[in-house]
Copies of this chain bind each other. A is one copy, B any other.
Amino acid sequence: MRDSPQIMARTKRPVTATESGAFVETIELGSIASGPLDGLNFAVKDLIDIASHKNGCGNPSWRDTHPVATANAVCVEQLLSAGARCVGKTVCDELAFSLIGENYFYGTPLNPKAPDRVPGGSSSGSASAVACGLADFALGTDTGGSVRVPASNCGIWGLRPSHGFISVAGVNPFAPTFDTVGILARSADVLARAASVLFAHEDIPRQEPMTIHLLKEAFSVADPNVRQVLNSSVQRLRNLFGGRLRETSLGEIDSQSEETDLWAWYDTFCVLQWAEIESCLGAWVAATKPAFGPETAQNFELVKNLDRRRLREAVQRREKYFQRLKLFLGPNDLICMPTTPALAPLKGTVVARGQSAAGDDYYPRMLSLTSVAGIGRLPQVSLPLAESGGVPVGLSLLAANGRDAFLLSVVKKVAAFMGT
């Protein structure tokens, strides 16, 4: 199970932790008690506390200027108390500020299904560890896509939960309004089991989805090759759910809106995220003058130079979009969209935010998609249902805020139907 058929086929033998480049350090941390996760092991992104270890946050200066954790993060403690074992801390993008997965200091964790392409970030090592079969699941964080994007790129399952339901205590704050602890997993079943422990849900009755909205403007953002393979996945969803799938446009979600694409969602998200990043990290950057890789240095310049007078209006727009989505999306409704607008970029081609060989608009298009869950406070799962020329492509399902258990039950049903 740990050595997935795909990896075996490519490499003829299992990838080692060293070959994967996924780990900052491997750790043997046994479970604290027996429970529903008995027999599973997990890796932890290097910005989530493990007692007696430091968080590096993907940046040596951060590591040098912060103390050793005295306790496991709440989420880590929950997993260890439910029977899971921890196998290590994983590489992440510097201070979580990238969706690419190429760390200037710690390298690029292997994307085993597409070794010439990036794993995606910022939970790059967590995704790589799972995709390489070195962990059953992994903890990541997702502020603007940092679990969903690497899940899609690496062809595994990834959950961004509803905001506020999994504790972020012991996790480095980045942009608190959007920060979540998410899960990357080798199967829908493992994803749901780990999530169930973190959410501490009681069992919910099985419910069928009422309507699955294929968000038109989101599919429009994607490259033709991504749309093409996802259309086949959507067709298979139709075989399962029939007429409950329907095409829906932004105008139906928000009839008062003048928006005809997701650009305003992207812009709103960026203003708020950058403002919060400056609030969380700006003082440290100014006081420490840390060594940054070139992409990170440019990102922090963007953040520092944000006109914060835009904040009040951005919060207003965020709340407007949030309320519209809340009114629109029933408790048993789902939204379906591409996880990412393009295949994982080839390694070394994304030279700076918004400027890549894949076109200047990689980041804006990506954040147009990922901002829907962020702004809507919605849970989202990326399902590894498609490939384009052997490169993984994720399809996403989103549910209403707080409907994570329902979403995961539908995801498991889809996985069973698709035989994945």
In the bound complex, residues from chain B placing their C-beta under 8 Å from that of A215 are: none
In the bound complex, residues from chain B placing their C-beta under 8 Å from that of A67 are: 283-284, 286-287
One digit per residue, 1 when the CB lies within 8 angstroms of any chain B CB and 0 when it does not, for chain A 62-75 equals: 00001111111110
Interface membership of A329, Cβ < 8 A: no
Given the complex of chains A and B, what is the CA–CA distance between A326 and B308 in angstroms? 36
The minimal Cβ–Cβ distance linking A175 to chain B, given in whole angstroms, is 7
When C-beta atoms are compared, the residue in chain B nearest to A311 turns out to be B77
When C-beta atoms are compared, the residue in chain B nearest to A68 turns out to be B283
Contact yes or no, A169 B280, CB < 8 A: yes
Per a CB cutoff under 8 Å, which of B74, B202, B279, B286 touches A323?
Answer: B202
Contact yes or no, A275 B68, CB < 8 A: no
Per a CB cutoff under 8 Å, which of B70, B81, B164, B319 touches A199?
Answer: B319
Known contacts being A67-B283, A73-B279, A200-B316, is A173 close to B170, with CB within 8 Å?
no
Interface membership of A94, Cβ < 8 A: no
In the bound complex, residues from chain B placing their C-beta under 8 Å from that of A278 are: 70-71
* A73, A168, A283 interface centre (most CB from chain B within 10 Å): A283
One digit per residue, 1 when the CB lies within 8 angstroms of any chain B CB and 0 when it does not, for chain A 192-203 equals: 000001011110
Contact yes or no, B167 A276, CB < 8 A: yes
Contact yes or no, B276 A74, CB < 8 A: yes
Interface membership of A315, Cβ < 8 A: yes
Interface membership of A356, Cβ < 8 A: no
In the bound complex, residues from chain B placing their C-beta under 8 Å from that of A316 are: 200
Q: State which residues 315-334 of A face B: CB under 8 Å.
A: 315-316, 318-320, 323
Contact yes or no, A200 B169, CB < 8 A: no
Interface membership of A282, Cβ < 8 A: yes
Contact yes or no, A78 B163, CB < 8 A: no
Per a CB cutoff under 8 Å, which of B170, B202, B279, B315 touches A170?
Answer: B279
Interface membership of A337, Cβ < 8 A: no
In the bound complex, residues from chain B placing their C-beta under 8 Å from that of A323 are: 202
Known contacts being A70-B286, A169-B177, is A200 close to B279, with CB within 8 Å?
no
Contact yes or no, A81 B176, CB < 8 A: no
In the bound complex, residues from chain B placing their C-beta under 8 Å from that of A2 are: none
Known contacts being A173-B173, A276-B167, is A68 close to B287, with CB within 8 Å?
yes
Given the complex of chains A and B, what is the CA–CA distance between A199 and B319 in angstroms? 8
When C-beta atoms are compared, the residue in chain B nearest to A377 turns out to be B164
Given A70-B285, A70-B304, A199-B319, 19 new contacts (CB under 8 A) = A68-B283, A68-B286, A69-B279, A69-B282, A71-B278, A71-B279, A71-B282, A74-B279, A81-B309, A81-B311, A81-B312, A163-B164, A164-B377, A167-B177, A167-B315, A169-B275, A169-B276, A170-B276, A200-B318
18 A-B residue pairs with Cβ-Cβ distance under 8 Å, sorted by A, are A32-B309, A66-B283, A69-B279, A69-B283, A70-B278, A70-B283, A70-B304, A71-B278, A71-B308, A74-B315, A77-B309, A77-B311, A78-B312, A81-B311, A163-B164, A167-B177, A199-B319, A200-B315
